[in-house]
Chain A
Amino acid sequence: EAGVTQFPSHSVIEKGQTVTLRCDPISGHDNLYWYRRVMGKEIKFLLHFVKESKQDESGMPNNRFLAERTGGTYSTLKVQPAELEDSGVYFCASSPYLGRDRDEQYFGPGTRLTVT
């Protein structure tokens, strides 16, 4: 079974540009989460999808961030326009909606975003 995958692994962009991060969850996982770790700080929750619906986006920092999950499969997180403080590692995680494993979130390798 393939794990959670994220693309790209690294992205370096200039302030003011747009970047789109992609996450492919484990097949069959209805829950999808985005997290971010800014340098030296805790990993922070951004938002949670159940299938294609946003269940909770209370962690999104501002309206420069837009997450989508069309069709309830992969998700994208777009930052437009990027600012210096957006630099960090963006993690995606998924979990099944039901079953014993629903308590576990399976994480992807992360996308390291650097805004210069």
Chain B
Amino acid sequence: AQSVTQLGSHVSVSEGALVLLRCNYSSSVPPYLFWYVQYPNQGLQLLLKYTTGATLVKGINGFEAEFKKSETSFHLTKPSAHMSDAAEYFCAVRGPRDDMRFGAGTRLTVKP
């Protein structure tokens, strides 16, 4: 069965520092992987997705993620954090019946 695990429920970085949010997946079939972000008092917004093709995926707001099959990982990165990146981030894998299976979420804090 498909599932994802997010390592670290809270991550804190300084403004301008690298953002790295970790996600590992488990899937018996080639996975479709997603990162969503939830800003305070808003819904989930898709940051990026991997379905097939290029393993380095670029998303909105300068985020990118790399699908690494050998490591069963799909970590989210951004070279330089901005205060506006403070939010909760969710990794997800598409299940066999098109449902999204989410990780527990990682809350990102950006310090000035």
Q: Do A and B come from one complex?
A: yes
- A residues near B (Cβ < 8 Å) are 3-4, 31, 33, 35, 41-45, 48, 55-56, 58-59, 91, 93, 103-110
A-B CB contact pairs (8 Å), 19 listed? A33-B99, A33-B100, A41-B104, A42-B102, A42-B103, A43-B44, A43-B90, A43-B105, A44-B102, A45-B99, A48-B97, A48-B99, A56-B99, A103-B32, A103-B51, A104-B49, A107-B43, A107-B45, A109-B43
C-alpha gap A47/B98 in the complex (Å) = 10
Give me the interface of B with A, judged by CB distance under 8 Å.
32, 34, 36, 41-46, 49, 51, 90, 94-95, 97-105
9 smallest CB-CB distances across A and B, nearest first, come from A107-B44, A109-B43, A45-B99, A43-B102, A107-B43, A56-B97, A42-B102, A42-B104, A108-B43
**Residue among A42, A48, A58, A104 with the most chain B CB within 10 A?**
A42
- Residues of A contacting B99 in the complex (Cβ-Cβ under 8 angstroms): 33, 45, 48, 56, 59
**CA A105 to CA B99, docked complex, whole Å:** 9
Which of A4, A42, A104 touches B43 (beta carbons < 8 Å)?
Answer: A4
**Chain A, residue nearest B102 (CB):** A43
Q: Are A91 and B51 in contact (CB under 8 A)?
A: no
Rounded to whole angstroms, the CA-CA distance of A68 and B105 in the bound complex is 29
- Name which residue of chain B comes closest to A45, CB basis: B99
Whether A110 pairs with B43 at a CB distance below 8 angstroms is yes
Inter-chain CA distance A10–B21, complex, in Å, is: 30
Whether the pair A105, B100 counts as a contact (CB closer than 8 A) is yes
Chain A residue numbers with a CB within 8 Å of B32 are 103
A109 interface neighbour in B42, B95, B101, Cβ under 8 Å: B42
Smallest Cβ distance from B92 to chain A, in angstroms?
A: 8
Whether the pair A45, B44 counts as a contact (CB closer than 8 A) is: no
